[in-house]
Structure 1
Amino acid sequence: MRIERLPGKIIPNFSPSGRSLIQCKNWPDHKQRIVKACLSRPFLLRIGRLRSGFLKTDEPPLPWLQTMKLLAIDTSGDACSAALLMDGAIDQLFEIAPRRHGERILPMMQTLLDRAGLRLTDLDALAFGRGPGSFTGVRIAVSVIQGAAFGAHLPVVPISTLGALAQGQFRRGGQRRLLAALDARMDEVYWGCFEVCDDGLAAPLCEERVYSPDRVEFPAEIDWYGVGSGWAAYAARLRTRVGDALFDANPDIFCEARDIAVMAAAKMLMGRQMPPELAAPVYLRDQVTRT
């Protein structure tokens, strides 16, 4: 097992215009006032910006993030990971464990809670990679999160695994235009196009779909960066299809729970959590009629 601990405090870099600040109906009024005050232009200008899209500083993080406690998991591929967001920092456990997700993910979640001295009921929400990916792996994530959330009376936040792949590559290399492709077998890829905006979060530019590698679609831009296992399984065909618009690709990365946690925290800010009974896997292939 590889244990990763991410030091420092991570603060979402929301634009001074407040574009990313949407009131959460479930938040107490005092929390909404705190967030608005901290996202004011003087606050952002005083701290400054980093190319990473997140603000890292020795100063205290935004109060809402400092007090948010969120546990995220991903079991959508060969990797299995769990991450705890607490006090503005992320603690992650990551392991390559094909076909062992069911036996590994619950101990990983419990280890993170034990290291932080928390119980499940101390959390604000649970997040998970909702797919696409391995049918069995995605179902495991949904089942585990639903069971835990029901027992602890917590809301859940589903996150696209393609979006989390894009978010992870931005975290590693700073690329902002990303073409995420996962090997879907049957001569197909799960496909999504993303752009990282000023708030430091990967936003979809197209509908996530299943494609033949020779027929993927993407916006007419340049300097795209490919991520995911599809760029290994169908490298030549995808590169031919994207052509000169492709800058480079990294096929050797996995979806990680720490990126799911960051994206889920932003969704929590926007009030986009849901009750556990509404959590559902996204397979994509069910939405496509094969010809």
Structure 2
Amino acid sequence: MEKKRLNGKIKYWEGIANKTRHEKLTAISTQEIQIQELRKKIKVNEDEIKKYSKIVNEQAEQIDYLTDLNDRTIDLTTESKNGQYTFNSQTDQCVMDLLDCGLSFEKVGPAIKNVLCMCGLRSKDDRYPKKDYVSNCNMRRLAISQVQTAEICTAAANQTLYTDETRKFGETFSSFITTDENKTPFLLGLKQMSNKAAQTQLDTLKSILNDIETRIKCLVDQNLQTSTSFNILKNIKYTMSDRAATEIVFNQLLKDYREKLLKEHVEKYDDLPDVEKRYSIAYVQLFLWSTSNS
């Protein structure tokens, strides 16, 4: 009877053990499934974290760029005496350089803006030169070029004067260019003429020289004593033309006018010996092409 009771207890506890073992295996299996699901969720969350971290980093870089862009500005203007703002000398130099490259007035401002954008810069006050300002800057460029031409042509000896006349839209224009001994050209000016006569051509040259002299007095020396026109003409020793009849007459008129200036500016010119006079008015006429008999 004792053995029977003991066997009963053993079976009872074996049943409980089997039940517990089954529950344990079931719990472990359920936990493993839950762990796999959690791992999947963790993987998804990690991917989401990476995605949003990338977005956050991009936004941070954009913020840094915009912050840096606010600091990376260039000041194209300067405050004038009356409290207004105008473009500074560096901007004027840039505008003149662009005009030298053949850029039209209305395209100068957009060109400066686009180049600054390519360099990651922008104007401090978002102001760029407009057409009217560029036109005004072009006038100052002409004034500066006239002053430069006057300074060089009054200092360089043995210059050659080149003249050329052309017609456009029914109007006549003439240009006057000088070169020094190194063949470096300098434009005295280009002006419209009423006709192609030699005297008109000389009068046009006088007008250009007078404009240069006026510019020198306004920008350099208001109390200019010596004639800039004379200082330029006295250094012209040669002429170059196309052998047209008008050019031949013009050369003679220019020679006479130059001699007149020498008499006005050279002290006691009439008392000089003939040799020194000829030296003072040395004026050799050259032509672009030699005559067939030369």
TM-score strictly above 0.5: no
Give the structure-1-normalised TM-score.
0.19
Q: Which has the larger radius of gyration?
A: 2
Q: Does 1 or 2 have the higher relative contact order (CA < 8 Å, sep 6+)?
A: 1
More helix by share: 2
Q: Which has the higher strand share?
A: 1
